[in-house]
Structure 1
Amino acid sequence: MRYIIVIITLLIFTQSRGQDLQSYLQEAEINNPEIQAFELRYDIAEEKVNEVNTLPNTEVSGGYFVSEPETRTGAQSVRFSARQMIPWFGTITARENYASALADAEYIEVAIAKRKLKLAVSQSYYRLYAIEAKQRVLEENIELLDTYERLALTSLEVGNASAVDVLRLQIRQNELVEKKEVLEQDFLAEQSEFNNRLNREEGEQVVVYDSVPLPSEDFIISVDNLNNHPELLKYDELYESVELAEVLNQKESLPDLGFGADYVAVTERPDMDFNDNGKDIFMPMVSLSIPIFNNKYKSISRQNELRQLELDAQKDERRNQLETTLERARSNREASRITYNTQLNNLEQARDAEEVLIRSYETGTIDFNDVLDIQELQLKFQIGLIEATKNYYVQMAIINYLNNN
């Protein structure tokens, strides 16, 4: 019953600690400047839809006749003109559709940036875990060597050990203290990088897992999930935008219509009396802008066709890269699990050997050279266990980036 309570307590503790990484990921997504920049780019792209939903500028002109031309109804004194060009029917809608497609592509970029940020934060988090775990292991081994040193001093008093044994233990302690201090600097550097991704103060404390056990089983990786990966969907959105760009190109190759009017102010002739004397002139106008030399639009069509072929090739190449990365991460994950199990078994055997040495101390036959060898092996296996755990979850972060929908 006591073991059951302990296991339940550990599970609750692990779950509560497991929320830490998720909270950091959420904080990073909200505060990271790069994500904010991508979201602003998407907002700009969306706003361009309103930009293209406009007509060309209305042209208004006016003129004063310095030398007034005489007509039958009087002299022309002032002339005003107004004209509005209108694109061919459906052109503005085609522009809106093209701008919307570009905005959709920018939205995909936001999703990609968020995934990359999650990957970077997760990997940095597990590197911090590994550094802190190594520090704890070194501290435990320093304390263990301190215990051995006391045993050596006791043995020295009764003639079962030499001063050299004591010095070797002290030298080994100094080496471990040095490694621990170096790890402290590594932790500060990694913590600074981690906080920068969250847009926080560099020295703000980061709380990491105390222990990270490996899951009993690994979930199955499906390459088919890559079909819905944002890095590949981006090419689909760009391909669609090129299709809409071609629709817009065809619309723009059609004539533009123009509507306007001219107004001429006429001065009355004082020496004559007749109908329409001094009557102003008003002339509605219709114009047509015809792209007779349309090599430009043919060239754009050819460019769009080549652009689609380029996007197909880029998508295939990127998919191959993602598949390779996914397979490499899967392989590295399996290798990390194998290493983890090996280090765990070796560590158990090293601890068994340590117990044998401790029992031999009771008979006064302890060999402190063996003590140092076993301690060094034990530390090696402990560090290897931490490295294997870190590598496992670093690879899992890559797999989640590629395989998580």
Structure 2
Amino acid sequence: MTTRNTTDLGEFQFLSGESIPTLEVAYETYGEFTGDNAVLVCHALTGSAHVARRPDAGGETAGQARAWWGDVVGPGKAIDTTEYYVICANAPGSCYGTTGPSSENPETGEPYGTDFPPVTVGDWTRAQRKLLDELGVGRLHAVVGGSVGGMNVLDWLRRFPDDVDRAAAVASAARLDAQCLALDTVARRAITGDPNWNGGHYYDGPGPEEGLARARQIGHIMYLSKASMGRKFGRRSAGREAVREEPPDPAAAFFPYREVESYLDYQADKFVDRFDANSYLYMTRAMDDFDLSAGYEGDADALAAFEGELLVLSFTGDWHFTTEQAEALAEACREAAVDVAHHVVESDHGHDAFLVEPEKVGPPVTDLLETGLAGRAITDTEPETDDSGEFAPVHTSLFSK
């Protein structure tokens, strides 16, 4: 059984203190609820509620053409929808059905634009909790998420620790580092520096497409590793069949249009057609703002009330959320006496690994849901040190069952 729906949660006060008269949340559910089998999946930065393939949906939901985790969630998949009742909700501030900057402000009849209140990961969690109340779901069997969706998972553990039995934070961390904060800043400046941005009120005219395109290109570079980019593109020319509308500057016509340029241009063009520039500003700011320890003495203190089990899953080639950051999170759990396993996956795909390597994500998540941290595909990587005494991640095998 699958459902696609939007529910009105009524007036919603954001953690900034600002309110909107009504918050609509777009969500999808998969499977049947039996009372103790609910699994909440939290989407990443530009994802939607469309987490799994739907036979009745023609493969498209609110502009996102593909189910973003369709190889992980579904019948017989790692998160098996014949066993679990899976819920995925679009986050407030996004543009895939949940109220955000592009939504109509009922008080003015015009899109909110940048009059929309600031949004935090905590607001996502609170909206999800209200949605689950509407669906009759109390305690979750598990909450699972990747990237900033993993931050959403961690926020659940500090905000509603009694409502979660098991959790998986995939390719995530307790906070962003300075390098990623800097790159996100440049991406946002690309949008706000576009002459068509108009202070965020561009919905009745041409929008900041060029700025959004550049922001997305910066994001894609962040999601790939140096090794994966070298293997996929190298320095190769894109060839005669590649089409570039016009050289960005006169001298560019003399030089080859490289495959890596063609890829970035293609991804930018696709993204501009499906995502809202203001939502990109709001969603990246929510991610940048998240700090697990905010309001607490530290990460361990933030997680101390959680009595369930947490799987932390990281990828060696991911420099957006590194294995070192994941190990720091796991160590905070150990300090707080939270049951945790840090599973490190050998991969050179970069941050995108959690999306493009489902065969490596699936087994430990499956075992977490079925048997908890005692699962056969889960290995806790207690920190080892190299000759300099620095932490060196242990690369575990997912298939040593």
Which TM class, normalised by the smaller chain length?
under 0.3
Higher strand share: 2
Return the structure number with greater relative CO, CA threshold 8 A, min gap 6.
Answer: 1
Structure whose alpha-carbon radius of gyration is higher: 1
More helix by share: 1
TM-score by length of 2: 0.21
